[in-house]
């Protein structure tokens, strides 16, 4: 499988960039997706100077854009072995003050984007009778969190979507699993006040924040032959924060 094609969304930075680095080193052909075309092009040139890693800029919350990207990837690389739905965002705020717009944004991008990509890629995987879908959820989708009702709902939705897809597509040789990271040091968590970060660190038995490569290693495992009998699961990668 290591020369199969994998789409990684949210590849321009953070966890998605770490996943891309890990999978490129493992020999996968990669299609990198995010809105920042320049960052994506630079990463593709660095990881795949021979054209085996390519940038496909676009917005995952726009179904037409997603269909265009998947068509281009299919034309360029042929069958698509893996899909890593990693792109995501937060729009934090107290539930009692949350506007409908702020509720909708993470639902559209995190959950909608995951649905759109899975919907567009599934027919290609079904024809090939093999495929691996890996959706990046969050421990917040399991526990909920004050100030993140919208994000928590989007990430819980991703887990339910993953299980449903696993049940619908299993007979076609396709697995679907979720990965639920805890606190991973990226742009997404950099803005949290030091006090909040200290409290969170106190709740992590392994006494360190996660790094992108902690998540990337689990994604690589889920793409491997060793993981071929795992589907519908949510793997928590959080240093023991949630048990």
Taking alpha carbons only, the member of 155, 116, 110, 113 closest to residue 137 is: 155
Q: Which of these ranges, 42-50, 58-66, 165-173, 220-228, lies near ligand NAP under the rule CB under 6 A?
A: 58-66
Smallest distance from the beta carbon of 189 to ligand NAP, in angstroms? 5
Q: Binding to ligand NAP by residue 68, rule CB under 6 A? A: no
Q: Binding to ligand NAP by residue 60, rule CB under 6 A? A: yes
Q: Binding to ligand NAP by residue 136, rule CB under 6 A? A: yes
Q: Binding to ligand NAP by residue 112, rule CB under 6 A? A: no
Smallest distance from the beta carbon of 158 to ligand NAP, in angstroms? 8
Smallest distance from the beta carbon of 92 to ligand NAP, in angstroms? 12
Provide the β-strand partners of residue 32.
8, 55
8-state DSSP, 8: E
Q: Binding to ligand NAP by residue 44, rule CB under 6 A? A: no
Smallest distance from the beta carbon of 58 to ligand NAP, in angstroms? 7
Look up residue 71 and give its two tokens. Answer: 């068509």
Q: Binding to ligand NAP by residue 61, rule CB under 6 A? A: yes
Q: Binding to ligand NAP by residue 162, rule CB under 6 A? A: no
Query: Which of 77, 181, 227, 239: binder of ligand NAP (CB under 6 A)?
Result: 181
Cβ(118)–Cβ(83) below 8 Å: yes
Look up residue 6 and give its two tokens. Answer: 């994998």
Q: Binding to ligand NAP by residue 191, rule CB under 6 A? A: no
C-alpha to C-alpha distance for 143 and 242, rounded to whole angstroms: 8
229 is catalytic: no
Query: Which of 77, 81, 116, 183: binder of ligand NAP (CB under 6 A)?
Result: 183
Of 35 and 172, which CB lies nearer to ligand NAP in the complex structure? 35
Largest CA distance in the chain: 52
Query: Which of 32, 66, 87, 176: binder of ligand NAP (CB under 6 A)?
Result: 87
Catalytic residue IDs: 151
> Interface with ligand NAP by CB under 6 A: which residues?
9-16, 34-36, 59-61, 86-89, 109-110, 136, 138, 181, 183-184, 186-189
């Amino acid at each position: 499988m290591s020369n199969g094609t994998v789409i990684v969304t949210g590849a321009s930075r953070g966890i998605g960039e770490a996943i891309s680095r890990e999978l490129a080193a493992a020999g996968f052909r990669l299609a990198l997706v995010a809105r920042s075309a320049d960052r994506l092009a630079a990463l593709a040139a660095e990881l795949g100077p021979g054209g085996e890693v390519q940038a496909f800029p676009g917005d995952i919350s726009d179904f037409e854009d997603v269909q265009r990207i998947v068509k281009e990837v299919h034309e360029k690389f042929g069958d698509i072995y893996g899909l890593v739905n990693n792109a995501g965002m937060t729009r934090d705020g107290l539930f009692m003050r949350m506007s409908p717009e702020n509720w909708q944004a993470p639902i559209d991008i995190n959950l909608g984007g995951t649905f759109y990509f899975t919907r567009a890629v599934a027919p290609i995987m079904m024809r090939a009778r093999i495929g691996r879908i890996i959706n990046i959820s969050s421990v917040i989708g399991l526990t909920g969190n004050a100030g993140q009702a919208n994000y928590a709902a989007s990430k819980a939705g991703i887990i339910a979507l993953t299980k449903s897809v696993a049940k619908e597509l299993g007979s076609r040789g396709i697995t679907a699993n979720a990965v639920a990271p805890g606190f991973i040091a990226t742009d997404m968590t950099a803005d949290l006040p030091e006090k909040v970060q200290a409290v969170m660190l106190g709740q992590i038995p392994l006494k360190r924040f996660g790094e992108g490569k902690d998540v990337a290693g689990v994604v690589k495992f889920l793409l491997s032959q060793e993981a071929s009998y795992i589907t519908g699961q949510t793997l928590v990668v959080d240093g023991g924060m949630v048990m």
